[in-house]
Amino acid sequence: MHSTLSTPTAALNPGSPSTTAPTQLEKLIFWGLCIYMTTLALEGPLRFVLSHLKIATLLYARDLISATVILASMVVARAHFQRQRNQLLLLTYLLITSFFATVLLDNGIFSGLFAIKIFGTFLFGIAAYTAVLTHPKQFKLALMLMFGVTLTGVVINRFYGAFPWEGGLFESAFGTSEISRVWWISGGERRLAGFTRASPLAAGIIAITGGAMLITAKNYWVRLLLFVAGIAGIYLTTSKGLIIAYMAVAAISAFPMQSKLRSMSGVFFAIAFFILGILAPLISWITNPGIAFQRSSPRILSSFADRISNSWPDTINGFTHWYNWLVGQGLGGIGLPALFSGKVSRMSVVDNLHLFLMANFGLIGTTLFVLFFVRIMRNADSHRDASRAAFAVGIIALGYGIVSNIADDAFSPIAIGIAWGLMSQPKEMHKATV
């Protein structure tokens, strides 16, 4: 199969991690990343088994993997990682200072810690991004396995009924939660999670792994297969926003490798998604269409209408003081962590990546969103497969980020962190041919 993340050649740098044997640390990081992502892809049956064995809390040991990789990356020197190490230190400093600020804003200590756990998955991705370069063949295999296993789980879930772990309770030292979330969209269609814990996670794995392979595939029939299979899998999870983002990557991939049309189409989608991600919530807040708009919308657009009528205006209405437009609502002041603050009676799901960042970090969050967009634009004409895959992940993040905060599924923030790390490399590394 030609749809792979290829090994960067020695033309990059004779001492690059892709041209020398990986260090023991890099090997440990790679396997830690694989173990963590496997627990996400198979979290439904994994939680089910651990619950029956009365060792459910063991699942949270995976957080020790991400924390260890992040800490090691900040203190241990690694080849070609200095730029990412500086970014990791700055982002960690941002989380720590924001945590103290959120206490001052009276959001609650636990809500701030919960938010740190969510953003920690993004830092984990940055810290582990070199796994793509040091283990290219193994990483390619991991992409294919995760795509195939997740897609298979969703298909079985659709045609052969519910899995035994769906709707069950997961008892751990941290409380009771669902093993696998059971829920429906408007109209009674069930949202399928397959082997994962929730349908957004299954959709995110299919879209991101499929998109990374799709944009690097050199064979037309392989691209067509990935497109059809990916769209079908995402459709079964009912994540319509991801379908649009995935179709954008497919449209970019339809043009020949290294052609001007491919890079131009990538720039077009990046700009369009970036502008919509910022303006759509603001327009909905200004126009305030209300519940009548949602009720009059077609059923197929009901979730999008709900964002326009409810979640976006609700989030911005939470900026009750003038300083909220500058510093946000504090770390953990929005989304699921806010439920633990004691200040809100119901969760504002945000449903927009820029709003989520801005609500947590204010103008710094907006700056991070802009920097991510700039990195994507810099990689629109990349000639290296790893860089192309990072670009595809960036397009999916911007596209789906219009209607989702992305952070809730755990897998997507890790993938975005890996893409951030790859796109933070010197520009000449993205131009090396494979």
Q: Tell me whether residue 269 is in a domain.
A: yes
Q: CB-based contacts of 161: which residues, under 8 Å, 6+ apart?
A: none
Report pLDDT for 3: 39
What value does the mean pLDDT take over residues 271-275? Answer: 97
What value does the mean pLDDT take over residues 169-189? Answer: 64
Report pLDDT for 304: 79
What value does the mean pLDDT take over residues 160-185? Answer: 70
Number of domains comprising the chain: 1
**pLDDT cut 90: percent of the chain above it:** 48
Q: Tell me whether residue 163 is in a domain.
A: yes
Report pLDDT for 268: 96
Report pLDDT digits (tens) over 390-409: 999 999 999 999 999 888 78
Q: Tell me whether residue 19 is in a domain.
A: no
Give residue 204's identity as a one-letter amino acid code.
Answer: G
Q: Which token pair is 111?
A: 């809500």
User: Phi, psi at residue 237, to the nearest 5°?
Assistant: -85, -5
Q: Does residue 106 or residue 120 have the better pLDDT?
A: 120
Q: Tell me whether residue 5 is in a domain.
A: no
Give residue 164's identity as a one-letter amino acid code.
Answer: P
Report pLDDT for 112: 84
> CA distances (Å), 126 to each of 82, 92, 238, 414, in order?
12, 12, 29, 8
- Calpha distance 98→82 (Å, rounded): 24
Report pLDDT for 19: 47
pTM over 0.85: yes
pLDDT at 432 over 70: no
- Calpha distance 129→123 (Å, rounded): 10
Q: Tell me whether residue 233 is in a domain.
A: yes
What value does the mean pLDDT take over residues 330-357? Answer: 77
Q: Tell me whether residue 187 is in a domain.
A: yes
Report pLDDT for 76: 87
- Asked if 13 and 19 count as a contact pair (C-beta separation under 8 A), the reply is yes
- Calpha distance 17→425 (Å, rounded): 13
Q: Tell me whether residue 11 is in a domain.
A: no
Band of pLDDT at residue 323, cut at 50, 70 and 90: confident
* Burial class of residue 254, CB neighbours in 10 A (0-12, 13-18, 19+): middle
Domain housing 202: 24-431
Report pLDDT for 7: 37
Report pLDDT for 430: 67
- Calpha distance 420→238 (Å, rounded): 27
Outline where DSSP puts E strands in 163-242: 169-172, 175-178
Average pLDDT, the chain: 85
Q: Tell me whether residue 45 is in a domain.
A: yes
4-8, 271-275, 331-335, 388-392: segment of lowest average pLDDT: 4-8
pLDDT at 288 over 90: no
Report pLDDT digits (tens) over 81-105: 888 999 999 999 999 988 887 777 6
* Burial class of residue 80, CB neighbours in 10 A (0-12, 13-18, 19+): middle
What value does the mean pLDDT take over residues 34-47? Answer: 93
> CA distances (Å), 17 to each of 7, 12, 75, 133, in order?
10, 10, 19, 6
| Strand-pair partners of 180 | 166
